[in-house]
């Protein structure tokens, strides 16, 4: 990967905000294995670094992320590999994050671009944002503990419509479903997200961390679900039906 596909901006002048930015706009910020590695490293580092009080995910103009890179999906499907995909390590790092996570979304949020919000505490989205998880259309299954967290947050029917039926959710529908906190105009997403992060980062750090952990609850249940999903996800990734779906996308 180019080192610039994920930009990690360390806290400046005591701001306390670590920014993880998707920055592969020519591919709609689709996430490759090295990009997952970089984000995992940043999240794990944030847990240990007292200078980091809040982690903010941002994308680029009109695009948060189109989810996992389809070429990587296809390569994994054809490799016969049993290695744990880099995405799995990233998802676990998300679930084990100890500092508040915020996200600023403008435009496309697909696959993990949507499900990572289930681990975020405050998401600000532009009015033109669309959230979509076409897992089953790709012959895959929900990931990132979304099969557990989405029904809890959104209720079964809306979660099913999103995760299984693959229905797209507008920013308004996502707000109504409790998936995001606030809708703002596209041009202010970034400023508003950083303002939210700033106000959290200015709070007493110990209380902030404890409050977040209390609200997130024990992680075991979430990690167990991630592992359960991963068993199915990995098997489905190598299935003929998934391979056909990835090949169809690559051929377009
Ligand atoms: N993996 C790899 N490349 C991707 C990608 C992905 N997930 N999503 C988009 N891209 C690439 C396209 O192949 C295209 O590359 P090219 O210019 O070299 O041909 C480029 O990004 C622009 O995408 P394009 O499809 O032309 O833009 P669009 O605005 O018409 O559609 C999407 C955007 C995101 C709706 C569409 O690309 C799409 O459906 N992507 C797949 C999303 C997905 O299913 N992700 C996995 C979820 S589990």
With beta carbons less than 8 A apart as the criterion, state whether 105 and 124 touch: yes
Q: Which tokens sit at 201?
A: 């980062």
Closest residue by CA, ligand 1 atom 29? 28
Closest residue by CA, ligand 1 atom 20? 27
Q: Looking at the domain assignment, is residue 197 inside a domain?
A: no
Q: Looking at the domain assignment, is residue 111 inside a domain?
A: yes
Evaluate if residue 18 carries a pLDDT over 80.
Answer: yes
Q: Looking at the domain assignment, is residue 6 inside a domain?
A: yes
Q: Looking at the domain assignment, is residue 32 inside a domain?
A: yes
Digit-coded pLDDT (tens) for 110-161: 999 999 999 999 999 999 999 999 999 999 999 999 999 999 999 999 999 9
For the chain, the domain total comes to 1
Q: How far is the CA of 66 from the centre of ligand 1 (A)?
A: 6
| Interhelix angle 86-95/220-237, nearest 10 degrees | 160
- When pLDDT is cut at 50, 70 and 90, the band that residue 81 belongs to is confident
Q: Looking at the domain assignment, is residue 57 inside a domain?
A: yes
Whole-angstrom distance, CA of residue 125 vs CA of residue 189: 6
Average pLDDT over residues 45-69: 97
Digit-coded pLDDT (tens) for 217-241: 999 999 999 999 999 999 999 999 9
Q: Looking at the domain assignment, is residue 212 inside a domain?
A: yes
Residue that has been written with the tokens 């680029």 in this structure: 60
- Which residues, other chains included, contact 107 with Cβ-Cβ below 8 Å and sequence gap of 6+? 59, 61, 62, 63, 64, 126, 128, 129, 130, 186
Q: How far is the CA of 232 from the centre of ligand 1 (A)?
A: 24
Q: How far is the CA of 237 from the centre of ligand 1 (A)?
A: 18
Pocket around ligand 1: residues whose beta carbon is below 6 Å from it? 27-28, 30, 66-71, 108, 110-111, 134-135, 138
Q: How far is the CA of 52 from the centre of ligand 1 (A)?
A: 33
CATH assignment at residue 39: 3.90.226.10
The domain of 81 spans: 2-188+205-250
Closest CA to 89 of 129, 43, 46, 49: 43
Whole-angstrom distance, CA of residue 135 vs CA of residue 111: 7
Cβ-in-10-Å burial (0-12, 13-18, 19+) of 67 comes to: buried
- When pLDDT is cut at 50, 70 and 90, the band that residue 2 belongs to is low
């Amino acid at each position: 990967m180019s080192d610039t596909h994920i930009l990690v901006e360390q806290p400046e002048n005591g701001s306390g905000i670590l920014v993880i930015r998707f920055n592969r706009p020519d591919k709609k910020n689709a996430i490759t294995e090295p990009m997952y590695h970089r984000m995992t490293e940043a999240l794990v580092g944030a847990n240990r670094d007292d200078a980091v009080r809040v982690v903010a995910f941002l994308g680029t103009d009109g695009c948060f992320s189109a989810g996992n890179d389809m070429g990587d999906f296809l390569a994994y499907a054809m490799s016969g590999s049993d290695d744990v995909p880099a995405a799995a390590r990233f998802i676990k790092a998300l679930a084990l994050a100890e500092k508040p996570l915020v996200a600023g979304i403008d435009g496309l949020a697909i696959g993990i671009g949507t499900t990572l919000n289930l681990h975020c505490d405050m998401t600000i989205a532009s009015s033109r944002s669309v959230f979509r998880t076409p897992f089953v259309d790709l012959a895959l299954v929900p990931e990132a503990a979304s099969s557990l967290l989405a029904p809890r947050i959104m209720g079964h029917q809306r979660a099913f419509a999103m995760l299984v039926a693959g229905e797209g959710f507008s920013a308004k529908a996502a707000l109504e479903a409790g998936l995001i906190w606030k809708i703002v105009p596209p041009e202010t997403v970034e400023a508003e997200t950083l303002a939210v992060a700033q106000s959290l980062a200015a709070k007493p750090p110990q209380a902030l961390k404890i409050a977040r952990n209390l609200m997130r609850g024990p992680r075991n249940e979430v990690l167990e679900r991630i592992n359960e999903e991963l068993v199915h996800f990995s098997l489905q990734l190598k299935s003929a039906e998934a391979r056909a779906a990835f090949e169809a996308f690559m051929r377009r």
